[in-house]
Structure 1
Amino acid sequence: MQSTTSPSTLSMGDEAYSYYSYENESNFTDNETYDLSGDFSDLPGSHIFLPIMYYLIFFTGFWGNIFVIVVVGSKGKRAGRLVDIFVLNLAMADLVFVLTLPLWAISSSQTNGWDFGFASEFLCKLSSYIISVNRFSNIFFLTCMSIDRYLAIVKMMDSRYLRSSKCIRITCAALWIISGILGVPSLIYRKVAPSVDGQSCQEDEKLAILIGMNLGMVFLTFIFPVLIIMVCYGTIIMHLNRHCAAAGNARAEGRRRHSLKMVLCIIVAFVASWLPYNTFKSIKIISYLSEGELRHKAWLHNGFLVSSCLAFLNSCVNSAIYFFLDHHFRRRAKFLQLKSFTPLQFSHVLHRLSQK
């Protein structure tokens, strides 16, 4: 059976089952073994489509996020918007994440799995840590973007300090620190271990007893933030519907609605990308807790694999959202082109955007 080593499931702290190798599942007892050649099998062709998928996400996400960083990070004649601070941090998080994908592409295509010589252990821990920090920081930044939109539209006069550039920058720095701390268990407990074929970058089997905590991690890093986001946008929509007739400053109201639309699209893309993954992950955690045979079913393994790829796509869709939905972004991109400011030679893309 072809060894399928994948960064699937993005390391979530100290989760107790192997995210990165589906053949070498962590057991609950030292004596418990399973015949993984039965119901549990690789997705047909995964050693071909996984590397291709990872490389496509890498190239698209790499250039797309660099472009976003250049455009948003450089100021033209006008100061950038406050929401751009979150956009810039999201792009940096996604850029660092996609840099790990070539490792997983190579590992997925190799018959000996995660084999990078003397650097195997170091790369396993580092890439797992980066993936974990990216996951945490993304959802935290998106949640704060939703709260920022709520403050800007619903609590406009009462939130001037909270929506200051200084306060938002401090918030982003704090979120990076928190994400870095939450990712430390991945840095400590990920290791290179033998799998059915070759080696895999996986979780320490001794952490299996902590698997119940990981269900709480799903709630903390996905369900709870999404609930906050839903409350924020539900309140915003009700507020806009109540005040749509009072057009005191139609232009400012239009800008707020446009910014709201962009942020909402980013959040919808994130939820759509990560919901299948978190669903399969929750099922897998529950299957471990119940000690049933569900964890060895091929559909669970294959669904986990496909949903992980879908989740990784989120690292490159944000740049497309900015391209097509943010007029302010396009104007700034055109300005940088005219000033010959950008180091990226995206002249053809910029020319098409400037004509829209």
Structure 2
Amino acid sequence: MGMVDTLCTHLHQNNGSVENSLSKVKPKLDSQCVIEVLNSCHPKQPLLGVRFFVWAGFQSGYRHSAYTYSKACKLFGIQQNAQIIRDLVLSYEAEGCLVNVNMFREVLKLCKEAQLADVALWVLRKMEQSFNIGADTVMYNVVIRLCCKNGDIETAEKLIGEMSLNDLYPDLITYMAIVEGLCDVGRPEHAYSLLKGRVGEAYKLIDKFVVEHGVSYGDCCSSLVISLIRIKKLDEAMKLFMEMLSGDARPDTLASSLVLKELCMKDRVLDGFYLLEAIENKGCLSAIDSDIYSILLFGLCQRSHLTKATKLAKIMLKKSVPLQSPYKEGAIDVLIESGEKDLVNHLTGIRKGL
């Protein structure tokens, strides 16, 4: 009898204790095995399938992949039938099942995959009230992020306040969820005030990140820059980014690269070049993705800003940044026509020399 058959036998003949029956097998799980067992429960026994999935998620030597979470949610229609998550937790309660924090982590990950904010909040409350299991920061973050994506910023902020009452503290993931959520619901000015206002709870929140938990002010600012770009607030993102460069905050790789790329896409290549110079003067140029240099160089060449293009090409040469396709050919042709054949030869030889 193969492992899948063995698991299915123990799963369907559990004598009222699914987890105890499965644990007797002591299996070496893999994704294919897990999916085959789930298929055996579809479509007639979805609750049993989900219960197996939760148990499997924290077995020794195995962790669910992103694909496996997606597969489980689609197979049992969890997004459309959110009640199955409630029924799962209620079955634990009705049977007096010996539950642990790992089980609830898996339940919340299913809520995350299915984007079930209300159910995730219910699970968080249920585990504390009925099972006396306290959530950790990671679990709170799952629920907070779901609330933010659902536009329920008020609940997310209440959960952050609740964390401190339980001797837990928000981390950068918590903060980014709130910032992105505020931007998504059209309140970027509120998100911006979290950084610039530094009053009341906003001040306390940032202070906890920066002082107590090693999260830099630059990281917080960078997350807001990224969110502003995502909702097409480029000018506001630029304003904050320039304030970072003129102050003590250091922008991260993603924020720097996205701002430069957006400027190029908006046909503002000169602004992009001057911003890159400012980033270099700040000592953060190593934080730029290599393809951004090629996009910017191509844009400068196409618009005949040859002095700036030559200067950028020399920066790329100095930092051994190779030209990337599909921008490579267009930039090379213009630089050669402007008399920079030697520079082009050196630049195109970077990849070969690496």
Same fold (TM > 0.5): no
TM-score by length of 2: 0.18
Larger Rg: 2
TM-score normalised by L of structure 1: 0.18
Q: Which structure has the higher relative contact order (CA within 8 Å, separation 6+)?
A: 1
